[in-house]
Structure 1
Amino acid sequence: MAGSSAKPKRSISLPTRLHPNSQKIEAQLNKLKTNWEYSSFSSRETPLGSENIQSGLSDLAELYNSTKELIHSPLTQQALLQHHSRQMVEETLDMSIGLLDACGATRDLLLRMKERVHTLQSALRRKAMGDSSIEIDVQSYINFRKNAKKEVSKSLRALKTMQISNVQAFHALDVVDHPLKMVTTLLRELSAIAVSIFRSLFVFLSVPAATMSKASSGWSLLSKLFVPTSFAALEREHKIFNEVGSVDISLWSLQGQLRKNNINNGAQIDVGLVKRRLKSLDCCIEGLEAGLDYFFRCLIQHRVFLLNLLTP
C-alpha cells in the first residue's frame, strides 16, 4: 500500500477503561496504519488504484466516527479538561481545516473531470470520427489535465506542510497522563493517515505525469503518437496503472490519429476502447466522490464535536 516500508510499525494500546470500544478503535487504527504508512513526499511509489483509495477513505471515516465516541466518553472528557490539552485539541482543529481544504480541492477537481468525461462521451456518441470538433473536445480535456497537474502539485505541497506541522505539534506536547497521551497519539495518527490517503489520491489524479521519467516527462509523449502504436505498449512504457492514465493515453493516441488524418488509412483508433475507458473513469470518479462525501461528513462532525469541547 501507500509508502509501505520495512520499518517496524508503531502501535498504541488504548485502555479499555477509556471506552468499551477501545480495542475496536485500536484494531481499526492498526489496520489503517498497515495499509497507509506515512510515506515520504519525495517517494515515487506506484500510484494506488481507485478501489484502494475508496476503501481507505471509508475506513478512515469509520475511525473518525469511532474516535468521536471515545472522546465523548466522560473519562476522556474529564482528562481533557483537567490537563493542559487545549493546545492538542486546537492543533487537531487546525489539521481538520487543512483536510477540509484538501477534500474540497479534490471534490472540485473530480467534478470538473467528470464534466469533461461526459462531454467526450457525448461527442463520441454523436459525431463521426472525421468531425473536427472531436479534436477540439479532446484538446479541451488535455488542457484540463495540464492545469489539473499544477493544482495537484499545489495541493501536495500543502499536504507536506500539514504533515510536518502535525509531527512538530505532537512532539511539542508535554502529556504525562498515560490514557490522555494515548488519545493524543490517536488524534495525531488520524491526521497523519488522512494526509497519506489524500496524498495517494492526488498522486492518482496526477498520473501519468507523476510516473514518467524526466527523459519522457511532460506532454512530449504526443510526438510518439503521430505514428500508429498500441495503447498497451504506451501504457507499459510509461507505467500507466489506473483509470486516469488509461484515458490520457487513449486520448493522446486519438489526438495523434486525428492530427495525422490516419483514421481511414489502416491506423484506425479503437473508438470502442476509448469509450470503455471513459466509462471506467466515470465509474471511478463516482466511487471516489462517494468516498469523499462520506469522509467529509464525518470530518465535519468530528470538527464540530471538538469545537463544542472547547466551548464552555
Structure 2
Amino acid sequence: MAPCSPKLPTKFKIRSISLPPRSHPTTLRVEEHLNSLKSSLSSSSSPPPPPSVESLCSALSSLADLYQSLDDLLQLPLTQQALSQHYHHHHKRFDHLLDGPVRFLDILGNTRDSILSMEEGVRHLQSALRRRKLGDSTVLDAHVSAYWNLRKNARKNSTKSIILLKQIDASLETFLPPDLNAHLSAVVRVLTEASLVTGSVFYSLLAFLSSPVLKSKPNNKWALLSRLMQKGALVSENQEANINVLEKADFAINSLIVNSATQDADVAQKIQYANRRLEDLVEGIETLENGLGRLFKHLINHRVSFLNVVSL
C-alpha cells in the first residue's frame, strides 16, 4: 500500500538558514519562524508518521505566522528600496518568487473546495445514518456512494496538486540571483526558503487528503479485512494510531455496510460507531478549513505587498 505521507525533501531535514549576524532584526525573526517550522516538519523516523489533523493545523498556523513576518519584512523601507531597484533591472530573477504565492493560492483554493465538499457530503451521510437508525434504509446506500465519490475526487485532486508543487519546487531550486547587496540577498533567501517550506506543508496536507480509500468491494470483504489489518485498523478503538481520521471514517462505514445484514442491535452499535467517526471527521475538516482560511488571507497580503514593492 502506498504510504500515506510523502517523504519530505532532504533539504528540510538537514538544512537550516544561517543568516549573517548583522542582518536586520526582522529578517532574523523570519529566519526563526522558518527554522522552527522546518524542524517541526522533519522526522527522524523512517517512514515518517502519517500526518494528523493536529499536526497539519499546527503547521498551517505556523505558516500563517511566517507570512505575517514576511509581510513585515517587505514593509521595511530598506527592503522596498533595494527590491524595487533590483527588480526593475533584473525582473526575471524574481518572477518565480512573485508567481509562487499565486500558484500556492490556486492549490489552496482547490484544496478548500475539496474539503468543503467533503464536509457537506459527510453531514448528508450523518443525516442518512440517523434515518437508518429509525428504520429507514432507503437513502443510506446513495449517501454512502456519494461519500466514496467525494473521497476519490479529493484524492484525485490532491494528486494533481502534488504534481504542481513539484513544479514549483523545481523552479525555485534554480533561482540563485547574483550581485545582490547583503540585505537583499538575505531577503531573497528567506523568500525562497518560505516558498519551499510552504510546499512541504502543502505536501503533508495533500498527502492527508489523498489517503487510500478503504472501500470494500461487493462480495470481497476479505480483501478489505486484509487491507485494514495491514493498516493496523482491526484493533480496539483506543489503539487506532496507525490510521488518520479519514481512514477511521472509511473503516466505520465499511463495518456498517459489511454487517448490514446482522441483528438490529449490532447494526445500531455500528451506526453509533460510524457517527462518532464521522463527527470526528467533520471537526477535523472544520479545523483545517479555519487554518486554510487564515493562511489564504496571509498569502493574499504577501502577494499584494510584493506587488506594491516592485511597482514602486
Query: TM-score of the superposition, structure 2-length normalised?
Result: 0.83
Q: Counterpart in 2 of 1:215?
A: none
The one-character-per-residue Cα deviations of 1:192-217 (angstroms, maximum 9, x if unpaired) are: 111111111111011135xxxxxxxx
Distance 2:83 2:104 in 1: 23
The one-character-per-residue Cα deviations of 1:71-104 (angstroms, maximum 9, x if unpaired) are: 2111122221343553344321211111001110
Distance 2:285 2:13 in 1: 33
Distance 1:154 1:228 in 2: 26
Alignment gaps of 5+ in structure 1: 210-217
The question of whether the paired residues in 1 share the 8 Å contact of 2:50 and 2:243 is answered with yes
The one-character-per-residue Cα deviations of 1:21-43 (angstroms, maximum 9, x if unpaired) are: 333222111101212359xxxx9
The one-letter code of the counterpart of 1:103 is L
Kindly indicate whether residue 78 of structure 2 is the aligned counterpart of residue 75 of structure 1. yes
Counterparts of 1:248-259 in structure 2, within 5 Å, are 248-258=250-260
Q: Counterpart in 2 of 1:9?
A: 15
From 228, 234, 244, the counterpart of 2:246: 244
Distance 1:224 1:114 in 2: 28
Kindly indicate whether residue 164 of structure 2 is the aligned counterpart of residue 164 of structure 1. no
Distance 1:266 1:255, change over 3 A: closer
Counterparts of 1:98-177 in structure 2, within 5 Å, are 98-128=103-133, 131-168=137-174, 170-171=175-176, 173-177=177-181
The one-letter code of the counterpart of 2:188 is T
Q: Counterpart in 2 of 1:214?
A: none
The question of whether the paired residues in 2 share the 8 Å contact of 1:235 and 1:249 is answered with no
Q: Counterpart in 2 of 1:87?
A: 92
Q: Counterpart in 1 of 2:41?
A: 36
Distance 2:283 2:266 in 1: 32
Distance 2:173 2:280 in 1: 38
Percent identity of equivalent pairs: 34
Which sits farther off after the overlay, 288-297 or 5-14?
Answer: 5-14
List structure 1 segments (4+ residues) > 4 angstroms apart after TM superposition.
4-7, 14-17, 218-224, 226-235, 237-240, 263-269
Distance 2:209 2:249 in 1: 12
Which sits farther off after the overlay, 288-297 or 200-209?
Answer: 200-209
Distance 2:56 2:300 in 1: 20
Q: Return the offset for 1:159.
A: 1.1
Kindly indicate whether residue 102 of structure 2 is the aligned counterpart of residue 97 of structure 1. yes
Secondary structure class of the residue paired with 1:69: helix
Which sits farther off after the overlay, 51-60 or 220-229?
Answer: 220-229
Q: Counterpart in 2 of 1:308?
A: 308
The one-letter code of the counterpart of 1:33 is K
The one-letter code of the counterpart of 2:247 is G
Distance 1:278 1:8, change over 3 A: same
Distance 2:101 2:13 in 1: 28
Distance 1:95 1:222, change over 3 A: farther
The question of whether the paired residues in 1 share the 8 Å contact of 2:23 and 2:183 is answered with no
Distance 1:111 1:297 in 2: 17
The one-character-per-residue Cα deviations of 1:163-219 (angstroms, maximum 9, x if unpaired) are: 111212x23x2244222111111001111111111111111011135xxxxxxxx85
Distance 1:17 1:231 in 2: 53
Query: TM-score of the superposition, structure 1-length normalised?
Result: 0.83
The one-character-per-residue Cα deviations of 1:116-143 (angstroms, maximum 9, x if unpaired) are: 1101111112333661321221121112
Q: Counterpart in 1 of 2:238?
A: none
Distance 1:166 1:274, change over 3 A: same
Q: Counterpart in 2 of 1:225?
A: 221
The question of whether the paired residues in 1 share the 8 Å contact of 2:169 and 2:196 is answered with yes
Distance 1:166 1:175, change over 3 A: same
Distance 1:174 1:243 in 2: 47
Which sits farther off after the overlay, 228-237 or 72-81?
Answer: 228-237
The one-character-per-residue Cα deviations of 1:194-248 (angstroms, maximum 9, x if unpaired) are: 1111111111011135xxxxxxxx8566655369979985740698521111111
Counterparts of 1:41-52 in structure 2, within 5 Å, are 45-52=48-55
The question of whether the paired residues in 1 share the 8 Å contact of 2:101 and 2:303 is answered with yes
Kindly indicate whether residue 62 of structure 2 is the aligned counterpart of residue 59 of structure 1. yes
Q: Counterpart in 2 of 1:207?
A: 211
Distance 2:74 2:204 in 1: 28
The question of whether the paired residues in 2 share the 8 Å contact of 1:257 and 1:268 is answered with no
Alignment gaps of 5+ in structure 2: 235-240
The one-letter code of the counterpart of 2:195 is S
